[in-house]
Structure 1
Amino acid sequence: MQIYVIKRLLSAVVVMWAVATIVFFAMRLIPADPAQVVLGDYASQELVDAFRQKMGLNLPIWQQYANFLAGLFHGDLGRSMVTNQPIAEQIFSVFPYTLSLALASLLVGAAIGIPLGVVTAIRRNTIVDSMGRIFALAGFSFPGFYLGILLLIIFSVQLKWFPVVHSVSEGGGILEHLHKLVLPAFSLGLIQAAYITRLTRSSMLETLSQDYVRTAHAKGLPKSVVFYKHALRNVLIPVVTAMGLYTGSILGGAVLTETVFSRPGLGKLLVGAIAQRDYTLIQSGVLMFAFVVLSVNLLVDLSYAFFDPRVKYE
């Protein structure tokens, strides 16, 4: 396994380098001058030249690229063009909120989608199956931000169970954080639950037709043992794989979800950077998203051996 992990880490480094290169040059292809955009149209030429020199924008493009890669190698993401604050501090101050939202939405999606997919597969062509498929179709049809607004109207405005503004205060206890995490997590998790339900149902139907399942029934094993111990364990591999691939969509959905719920996070920080044309913060935020997706995919691949002992990493 060690050799496999090392190879995956090396490939992840190559992917991160490719993403960093694409993002760096994509920012430079924008026709507007970053210094002019940040300082405004009425800034003097002397002020613009001083800003470009301070941020290194007056250097040749190849030298800017080399300095950018050298900074990444040393863990330095640079400084914000707007606030002149270290970007690493800004990102890591809000990243725990995005991480908790992503993990909570994954938990909600798995807790709802996997059992519902198993039940609909076991009770195929019944009213339970029909209701489960309707739920999955509805989940695919609802945009994340629209579902978030509906949840706010119902549970915050009407029922007043949750606050309308979901900003997290400093020093709040864990119960306060969890309380304000419920609606954003369900906003993302219900959509993922619909996807997991369909995938679990189709995988479970295929697994139930296998010979070893029929053999387990013939041996007289209880149905619960056959369904949830033998069949479900093989179903979890494609489901976990899909959940790992869906992480990118969750992070993308977190951008709108954090905005709708006024919740601090990496997505909201990135939206603000785009609005302010903070190019250095934008490229660092995109790199952080790419790093999270690569890390999750590696963890998913390593989890296969837990679900299926036959999997060997060679």
Structure 2
Amino acid sequence: MSPGRPRKTRIPGSGDKLRRALEILGLSWGKRHAAARHVLRDGRWAECGLPKSVNTIAEDIRLGLPLGRLAGYAAFLNIPIGLLQDEAVPAHSAPFAQAVFAAREEAAALNLPFVKSFDKSFCRHLYACNPQTYINALFGLLRGVYALRAVFPPSREIHNGCALVHAAEDHCLRAEAFMPFRHTDIRFEATIFRWGGNLHLSYYSRDLYTFGRLLTEDPLRHFAVANRRPFHLALAGVADSLIESRTFDIVRCLAKRLDDGPETDLTDRYAAACREARLRPTVFPADPDHARLLDQVLAARPSGGVR
């Protein structure tokens, strides 16, 4: 009687880690090969010598990764092999999620096309809306560090973060933002420009997982908005979901500029705001101040104020 193939030595818990990592990356591995984010459509999957059969992938997830493919999976995820082997780091732990997010961020290209594919008439109008004299004046008003409170309806959780408007460039402002979300730190890059009577804030996460657009009214066109004390902006828009890769989020956000405080340097002030956001990343409906803070976010309107 033929002994058959020898049983593979598999790493306990590593299959769950592969599943979790693919979920974080927004990749699928089921039988719908044509799905845009399927692992078999990623050229690096084959380069790393990983299985061409979805049945084999499912088996590795269910039973654990075999030693012979461990290096390939680690290379594809851009994480150390030891992270897949270490039973002290569970699949749903914060350290594992942070490692996958950090690897994804490092591997991603930071050059996201903005208007290159648009018609020339669009570009001419965009530049006409944002002459350098206007951009400089806008930067003089918006420059600084902001505390962010974001809500993704219908969820009623409030997510805290911060942002830094730090540079005026040709026809736009540049900003960055930070949000601790579900046990990991997400950092964003943003471009701010005027179109018509509104400011458009196009942003993406540095790992290129999320791309979104927020709008608010142009404060230079509204004396009352420009002179709010404390200065704040009410923003609304849409973005790729931070939780589920196959849908999108509606976003309501209140950005309130912080007082100078003890840190006079903007970079130091922003770092302090990031630390503050980490202390309380989420305000839950059961928290005693939730109703008041949620009302501030949802009641903030472009031409109004914060109640």
Q: TM-score range by the shorter chain?
A: under 0.3
Q: Give the TM-score, by structure 2 length.
A: 0.27
Q: Which has the higher strand share?
A: 2
Q: Using CA pairs below 8 Å that are at least 6 residues apart, which structure has the higher relative contact order?
A: 1
**Higher Rg:** 1
TM-score (norm 1): 0.26
